[in-house]
Amino acid sequence: MNTTRISRSALQKAAGFGLLITLCFIWTAQSADRSDAEQDYTARRNQMVALQIEARGIRDAKVLDAMKKVRRHDFVPEALRGRAYDDHPLPIGEGQTISQPYIVALMTAAIQPRPDMKVLEIGTGSGYQAAVLAELCRDVYTIEIVESLGRRAEKLLARLYPNVRLRIGDGYLGWPEAAPFDAILVTCAPTKVPEPLADQLAEGGRMVIPVGESWVQELCVLVKKNGRLEKQAAIGVRFVPMVDPRGRKY
């Protein structure tokens, strides 16, 4: 009797131990899977920077570093994560898109970011461009007109970047209480430069903005000199239109 009892409890112990080992194994395998996926994202991000951005002529090392650092896959819908590092824009819901990585880098480089700068972004969307700016500039203000997108980006950005402030509202009007801004970056296209944004740009400040009719615009780089905006460069691009709260195009 005694022997049976002993061996039964020994058996139970052994079974418990076996279960523990199995659970440990599953846990280790899962975290190994997760870190494999992380490494894969990091490798793809480095490749994105080398092939899509550096190879196309963007040389600002700080901008390249920020693009290597920000986890773009966190900013795209879960179902599209596998395509986060591809060379094109992706849908983020509500008919909006996260811009192509190259365009994000180009616009960021165009404002010539420095650590002491206060910048304004219009069109938060996914929050990705704001995150890249937050890596490079002291203060980032960003405005999104679609509430659901703004709330989602706010959650993500609040966790990662205490230097980002987000407002849900009409970016056409800018953020007058926080003006003047050293740079303004607009990621939706009005048909002409909004007056309030021109007013809120500091003397010597740079604005990068797509201007034009639906779907075909010029990405303009403007510099404020003696109170007036001077155009420095422009390339053809395609952004979603800037709209007012009733959805009409500006």
Residue 34 or 194: which CB sits closer to ligand SAH?
194
Between strands 181-186 and 118-122, the pairing is: parallel
- The answer to whether 204 and 224 are in contact (CB under 8 A) is yes
Minimum CB–partner distance for residue 131 and ligand SAH (Å): 8
The three state secondary structure string of 52-117 is HHHCCCCCCHHHHHHHHHCCHHHHCCHHHHHHCCCCCCEEEECCEEECCHHHHHHHHHHCCCCCCC
- Cβ closer to ligand SAH: 187 or 200? 187
Kindly state the smallest distance separating residue 104's Cβ from ligand SAH, in Å: 6
Active site residue 99: yes
Nearest CA to 205 among 137, 105, 151? 137
Run of H or E including 217: strand 216-225
> What's the min distance (Å) between Cβ of 86 and ligand SAH?
15
7, 31, 99, 148: which one is catalytic?
99
Instruction: Give least dist CB 18 to ligand SAH, A.
Output: 49
228 and 238 in contact (C-beta within 8 Å)? no
Whether the upstream peptide bond of residue 180 has omega within 30° of 0, thus cis, is yes
Q: Which is nearer to ligand SAH, 36 or 133 (CB)?
A: 133
When the beta carbons of 98 and 110 are compared against ligand SAH, the nearer one is 98
The footprint of ligand SAH (CB under 6 A) covers: 96-99, 122-123, 125-126, 128-129, 143-146, 149, 170-172, 187-188, 240, 242-243
**In the complex, residue closest to ligand SAH by CB:** 123
Smallest gap, in angstroms, from Cβ of residue 141 to ligand SAH?
A: 12
| Euclidean distance between CA atoms 37 and 43, whole angstroms | 10
Name which of 22 and 90 has its Cβ closer to ligand SAH. Answer: 90
Which active-site residues does the annotation give? 99
